[in-house]
Structure 1
Amino acid sequence: MSRPPLHALLGFITAARLGNLTRAAESMHLTVSALSHQIRSIEERMEQQLFERGARGVKLTDDGRALYDSIKPHLDAIEHALQPRARRRDDALAITLMPSFASSWLVPRLPRLLAAHPQLEISLQSNVGVVDFAREATIDAGIRFGPGHWQGLQAVHLFDDWLIPTASPALIERLGRPTLSNLHEFPLLGAPGGRWSEWFARFGGVPPERFVAIFDDSENLHRAAAEGMGIVLGRVTLARPLIDAGRLIPLFEERLKAEYAHYLVYPPRSQHHRGLAVFREWLLEEAQAYQAAEAEGKPSTRRAGTGTRAPSRRRRP
């Protein structure tokens, strides 16, 4: 049996999408008769009726729906592959990253990059989802917080992250400064079974019976702590700008290593991009400087019972 002509399958897909033979024929610059002939040729080949024809248009039969679901992804892939590709510029770079990391860490440092490399044009695309580089051909690289292994991507380790409890000056003024032993008596932001459980298991104290609030977004979690809602066990990278601004105060020397780390990732097609090479070198230098600055006041990771605990000044109701 000969292969069905691709244009007939395309006509079938177009008619199925639009639900109208006249509009489908116009979009393909065909007559309705020619499009109907293409669809009929497929129906005869498969010995199945693909459309139910009515006064308002056409509707897929069950056999037609099965054929549509089977071939549509392949035709979409062909259409995507044949789309014209703009010539890539070595002085233009498109980066995808989480909005929280962009605002707390990368954006404050970008002026140094552009001052050293004024010819470089940076496009930051904030995205909370994982970008598919195979489909998003205009994106050159990304910065991700994860395990460090993504199929088909080169991953360059930038730095680890740490979790520390922080609170606003207003909360400390109102309730006093907590100790490791009475931390559970303070309003905590988080969720049961999260990293707070590991904190109490490692450094001592009793887990609270309830948490004040739960957030599914790290940026809002830290903002809530800065507004005095409660104590957050947050990532240093996200908390650092608020700490430097005096809106959050680290409460203890103890800290937990974050489950994931920060990485620069990019697909094979970007490995020879000169703009990315410049960005990568600069990013590694910034990451090294950041780690060195954090290490100057590097908190202890000792277990509970080995440190000095400040007396509680909490005001009892």
Structure 2
Amino acid sequence: MSRVPLSLLQQFVHIARLGNLSRAADQANLTVSALSHQMRQLEERLERRLFERGPRGVTLTVEGCELLEAVGEHFDGIEHALSRYRERRHDALSLSASPGITSSWLMPRLPRLLAAHPELQLNLQSTSALVNFEREAVDAAVRYGKGEWEGLRSERLFGEWIAPVAAAELVARMGDADPLDLAQWPLIGDPNRNNRWNDWFAHYGGEPPRRYVAHVDTVDALRQAALEGLGVALGRMVTSKSLIDAGRLVVLGDRYLPVPEAYYLVYPPRSQDHRGMATFRQWLLEEAQRYERQMPVWQPQASPL
């Protein structure tokens, strides 16, 4: 076997850790087909199948896992050794945020940030994948959770509520069905591991259905299933508000329930001395405070779950 180019191994490590060929190609400034071709070259040189390719991304084979374990830490060591020689731009900020909060909340507000701070260059990654701040050149992230991320600093932005939502077309099809009697409606299983429908019925009464019309595994898929009229979903109000305002989703009834999760600004300690990060952080906290003051009147009838 001829010597394997280090560039192929480096791209392999990058793809393996991201688990997404498209995102890896974007970060490497390559096309997906070019990067896929490189990985086929690597597999041919090693005479091993390293990836299983599927509709939701790529996963490592057993031999792929063994290769990552063997070479990954060496590339980490190289990156760590070279990091001190790279000039850090304090007018550029790399931010990661999930697609839901990016499109519904963050993106409409970014023009205000850039108008007030035209010197700031914002590199935004819209992805649901959690950032590995040790390995990725990302300064901060906006994430949904309970504020507990080991080794990272987190600052709460605002809370979240859930309520049953359905496409306007489904509401029209259901005719005179009582929006408060969810037993009459097709329900979509919640992707939360504890199934938030159980919490909903425990508080507002009734019984969860014996059979959901469908189950999905991500919040994005849940929102899309509701938009397509598949059934009623428990929607997050913060990220669903723009769709509700546009009439694409309808809240069934006027009952809302708070959840223990909230939206947070999350960042590693190294970002504290980044001037661009300081500017963004101050702006984001002010926007979050303004949003909470102006938030629609969702008055849940219970304490958070």
Per-residue Cα deviation, 1:95-133 (whole angstroms, up to 9, x for no partner): 011122211211111111111111111100123221111
Unaligned runs of 5+ in 1: 1-18, 28-56, 60-67, 304-317
Q: Distance in 2 between matches of 1:160 and 1:214?
A: 25
Matched residue, 2:97:
97
- Of 72-81 and 183-192, deviating more is 72-81
Q: Counterpart in 1 of 2:262?
A: 261
Q: Which residue of 1 aligns with 2:141?
A: 142
Map 1:99-248; keep pairs closer than 5 Å.
99-136=99-136, 138-175=137-174, 176-180=176-180, 182-191=181-190, 194-248=195-249
Q: How far off is 1:302 after superposition?
A: 5.2
Counterparts in 2 of 1:206 and 1:270: CA distance versus 1, 3 Å: same
Work out whether residues 190 and 222 of structure 2, in 8 Å CA contact, stay in contact via their aligned partners in 1. Answer: no
The alignment partner of 1:78 has SS state of helix
Alpha-carbon distance in structure 2 between the residues aligned to 1:74 and 1:263:
30
Partner of 1:314: none
TM normalised by structure 2 equals 0.71
Q: Give 1:228 shift.
A: 2.2
Quick one: which amino acid aligns to residue 184 of structure 2? Answer: E
Q: C-alpha separation between the residues in 1 aligned to 2:68 and 2:248? A: 54
d(CA) in 1 for partners of 2:216, 2:69: 40
CA drift at 1:262: 0.8
Query: Which amino acid letter does the alignment assign opposite residue 171 of structure 1?
Result: L
The residue that corresponds to 2:298 in the other structure is 298
Moved more, 269-278 or 164-173: 164-173
CA distance in 1, matches of 2:217, 2:68: 35
| Displacement after TM superposition at 1:243 (Å) | 0.6
Distance across 2 between alignment mates of 1:247 and 1:270 = 39
Kindly tell me the number of residue pairs found equivalent between the two proteins. Answer: 242
**Identity rate, percent:** 44
TM-score (structure 1 length as normaliser): 0.69
Write the letter of the residue equivalent to 1:187: P
| 1:255-286 deviation per Cα after TM superposition (whole angstroms, max 9, x unaligned) | 22224211101111110111111111111121
Structure 2 distance, partners of 1:189, 1:179, is 15
Q: Distance in 2 between matches of 1:103 and 1:162?
A: 18
Structure exhibiting the larger radius of gyration computed from Cα positions: 1
Q: Which runs of 5+ in 2 are unaligned?
A: 7-44, 48-66
CA contact (8 A) 1:253 1:300 kept: no
AA aligned opposite 1:281? Q
